[in-house]
Amino acid sequence: MKISSDKASGLLSLIREGRPMTLRQQLVLTAQLSVPAVMAQLSSIVMQYIDTAMVGRLGASEAASIGLVSTTTWLFGGSCTAAATGFSVQVAHALGAGDAGAARSVLRQAFVAVTLFGLLLGALGSGISGVLPSWLGGDPSIHSGASHYFFIYAAFLPVLQLNFLSGSMLRCSGNMHVPSVLSVLMCVLDVIFNYFLIFPTREIGLLGLTLTMPGAGWGVAGAALGTGLAELVVASIMTWYLCTRSRDLKFTAERGSFRPTRRTLKKALRIGLPMGLEHAVICGAQIMTTVIVAPLGIFAIAANSFAITAESLCYMPGYGIADAATTLVGQSYGAGRRELTRRFAWITVLLGMSVMGVMGVFMYLGAPWIMATMTPDAEVLSLGVMALRIEAFAEPMFAAAIVAYGVFVGVGSTIVPCVMNLFSIWAVRLTLAAVLAPGMGLRGVWLAMCIELCFRGFIFLVRLYRERWLKGLP
């Protein structure tokens, strides 16, 4: 891992120093940054998969409790991501221009700004946790579990914010390996904590012996607490590494202010605010989808939640490659290298489409097995398999939208992509879902999603091809 990281750092230095790069070097660097980023993204969704699968063993109602508030957790988590990105893109540009001192200055200011934001977000989430399930139209039988899950999730939002900031800073500096390894550690810890917090004390058989396995028996609340504790451990390690071991960003003997400046905050808002607003509106659309699905019954809610989690295993590689795209394009843009910026954009987009196309095939063929690992309920399983097989056809174009968005974030262009995403989801997906759901049930909701993702990928490819996002470079 150390050798691979050193090679990536060496190739990144070619960007910062303005030296020529062969196509082979560009492809190697893209792979070196993409693979650990994909692993990190897969690890994050595996945590959701773990929560869903372990709670799913308790029954459909418990699974529906998490499924009901899942889109709202994405809303809050996405806001944390946007806040971190507003600063990390500035760090990528500064490092691309060869100014590590400016990058560290932005990092110091980011710690203060996003910590305050995380605390405010956590307070807001905790405040609405009691009424959220009724707002979403869920069955009264799952209100209590959903409220407890979201309250605990919200309490750990400051920790999640710190985790996102430290991880995004390391990735934008070119260090994909440490966030990747720590993401795997977080998954392991999540399994351990969940195992003892979700289930009650019970008898288990091991090598012919009967052992008493202690457990808290907190069910849905235990899943939320287990995840939060795993995030706390990893956020602590990630932040320590960033501040003391990062090659480009560690705090040295130099003194600098942690007080956010107007210039840095203005740039962060210009990059992050459109992303945050977009994520809020997109998650609002996802919440509306939940509202559309909710009247279809507990089985449909559970199947929808399971299918969304399972599909994430397919599209998270796209987000990993998008992280690499943001780093590569961001540093090339900061170095003022137009042709290299263009090349990295197309390399990463085509790589994402290829990887997610293959993942789509596996998802279609493996849908029964994937769903069976999350639920023993025959009706939920059948509905989930149907949803996954519809969605498999959209994966390559979904990849185009995901990775192209990462490209545009790398150059600091977030407003137009945000508008594109909003139009696609609200005008195409929700309209179709509202029309198709009454007659086709959950099948109609997922068919609408498939059509919308193909449309979204197309318009992102068109914008990438026109290259208006490159203006400002010679």
Q: What is the pLDDT of residues 78-134, one digit of tens each?
A: 889 889 999 999 998 899 888 999 999 999 999 999 999 999 999 999 999 999 999
Q: List the chain domain ranges.
A: 2-470
Average pLDDT (62-69) is 80
In this prediction, residues 25-29 reach a mean pLDDT of 84
d(CA 195, CA 197): 6
Query: In angstroms, what CA-CA distances link 93 with 22, 128, 453?
Result: 22, 38, 30
d(CA 425, CA 431): 9
pLDDT of res. 343: 93
**Which residues, at least 6 apart from 434, have a Cβ–Cβ distance to it below 8 Å?**
292
- pLDDT tens per residue across span 208-228: 777 788 888 888 899 899 999
Q: Is the pLDDT at 307 greater than 50, yes or no?
A: yes
Please name the residues in contact with 207: beta carbons below 8 A apart, sequence gap of 6 or more.
none
**Distances, alpha carbon 305 to alpha carbons 67, 194, 222, 357, 382, in Å:** 5, 19, 18, 22, 13
Alpha-carbon distances, residue 26 vs 9, 135, 347 (angstroms): 13, 49, 8
User: Residue 240: phi, psi to the nearest 5?
Assistant: -60, -45
Q: Are strands 209-216 and 200-206 parallel, antiparallel or unpaired?
A: antiparallel
Collapsed DSSP state (helix, strand, coil) of residue 146: helix
